[in-house]
Amino acid sequence: MTSADSGIIAAIATAPGRGGIGVVRISGPQLGPFIEAFLGFTPQPRHAHLCVFRDPQKLPLDEGIALFFPAPNSFTGEDVLELQGHGGPAVLQLLLASCFEQGARPAQPGEFTRRAYLNDKLDLAQAESVADLIDAASGAAARCALRSLSGEFSARIHALVSGLTDLRMLVEASLDFPEEDIDFLAAADASGKLATLQLALQQLRSNAQQGSLLREGIRVVLIGQPNVGKSSLLNCLAGQELAIVTPIAGTTRDTVRETILIEGVPLHIIDTAGLRDTEDEVERMGIARTWAAVDQATVALLLVDAQHGVTAAEQTIMARMPTSLPLLTLHNKIDLGLELPNAAANTLYVSAKTGAGIDALRAALLQIAGWQPEGEGIFMARERHLVALAEAAQRIERAQHQRAALEFFAEELRLAQLALSRITGEFSADDLLGEIFGRFCIGK
Ligand code: GDP
């Protein structure tokens, strides 16, 4: 059975475990007969019906609320039935099993949202933001995802695509009437229009990059001898912010020591404590993974005890770090009343105990990552969006240099438009859809 087939799908939409309420969601092109058989009556659209849910043998399973959303005014664009029962795993499993007995099949991860996309209720960028909203690690990330879900990101893409379409029409007109003595492009200020589009795209890329930071976070390599205060520093940095973050792609749990949040931006701390020469095969594999994570890091934090400064041991490990990795040296325990040298570049003095210097450290980390705290209009963006935006920017840049050769000019504009349309999913291969929706949770 492929994920794209139609038919009735059902899943528990609420999180596993016990809760006050649990929801079973059912979607299908025509749920009428299913609902009639399941509930014994046809509910009024969008009306809460308190009723007893029964199995096919008419034995009661639970009492709860049935909600019917007829197509097309539902999340998936199909008929949708929601059963709100008591939120226990056993009772919800019974309800679900009963749905299967009546002809539904288990929904695959993200299948409800996939149907919403296929029925034009959401475009691809919006569908992705559904998962991003659920996975959001902070309030800031959730707000960004919601902005994308509401279509603000897509609207900006559409505006760019429509600008490009207008320009392409001008070019086509020039190509169609080569003998005319009018320079359509000059007359319509094609160059100025292209420059305006370029600027809008640049702004959008910057907003998207910020969103991507909120989603992916920053990878911070932590270097430090035992007892210099690494754990104390992380606790102090984390403060009250609780990190609930799913591991980012390419970072296994054993390379990330922990994830903390700064202004909602996740900081994945990659611990180098275990990086030592060893004969042990298993340990070696772990070390290889850590080095791979170090290679992708944004910044290295070298933590030293201010009483000793940077010693030979730290110098050895620093020498093995990629030269391109920005390094911040932190002298910890300044509360011990030490005489501090003049501040050097990329060097900060902190006390994990008293919190002195920690705000400066937070600011420095965010600055290195490129975070703009005052950033407005940030969109939750994924790597694939950034790649597409970069490609569009490159195409437009090339078009700027091709204005004399109209065919090439037109072709670059077409390719820029294509790259942008991939974001919202106008042109999307099936495997991309599989990749995107396969990462959703079941029931969404
Ligand atoms: P780790 O082994 O690098 O993780 O170091 P810990 O965070 O466990 O700290 C080692 C010891 O140093 C503990 O006794 C901490 O209380 C102490 N310590 C950590 N940071 C500071 C600091 O800023 N000032 C002082 N005075 N002691 C600290």
Ligand 1 shell residues, CB under 6 Å: 224, 226-232, 332-333, 335-336, 351-353
**What parts of the chain have a pLDDT lower than 50?**
1-4, 249-250
Q: Name the closest-CA residue to atom 2, ligand 1.
A: 227
Counting atoms of ligand 1 from 1, which one is nearest the CA of 226?
2
Distance 351 CA to ligand 1 centre (A): 9
One-letter amino acid identity for 182? I
Q: Comparing C-alpha atoms, which of 9, 232, 190 is closest to residue 110?
A: 9
Q: Name the closest-CA residue to atom 22, ligand 1.
A: 333
pLDDT digits (tens, 9 = 90+) for 385-443: 999 999 999 999 999 887 678 888 889 999 999 999 999 987 766 777 777 787 777 77
Q: What is the predicted pLDDT for the residue at 61?
A: 94
Distance 229 CA to ligand 1 centre (A): 4
Phi, psi of 131 (to 5 degrees): -65, -40
Distance 335 CA to ligand 1 centre (A): 11
Both tokens of residue 406? 């109209």
Question: Which pairs from 238-244 meet CB under 8 Å and 24+ separation?
Answer: 241/138, 243/137, 244/137
Q: Name the closest-CA residue to atom 20, ligand 1.
A: 229
Q: Name the closest-CA residue to atom 19, ligand 1.
A: 229
Q: Answer whether 440's CB lies under 8 Å from 11's CB.
A: no
Distance 232 CA to ligand 1 centre (A): 6
Distance 197 CA to ligand 1 centre (A): 53
Q: Name the closest-CA residue to atom 17, ligand 1.
A: 229
- Rounded Cα–Cα distance for residues 435 and 114 (Å): 11
Counting atoms of ligand 1 from 1, which one is nearest the CA of 303?
3
Distance 278 CA to ligand 1 centre (A): 27
Q: Is 248 helix (H, G, I), strand (E, B) or coil?
A: coil
- Rounded Cα–Cα distance for residues 188 and 138 (Å): 46
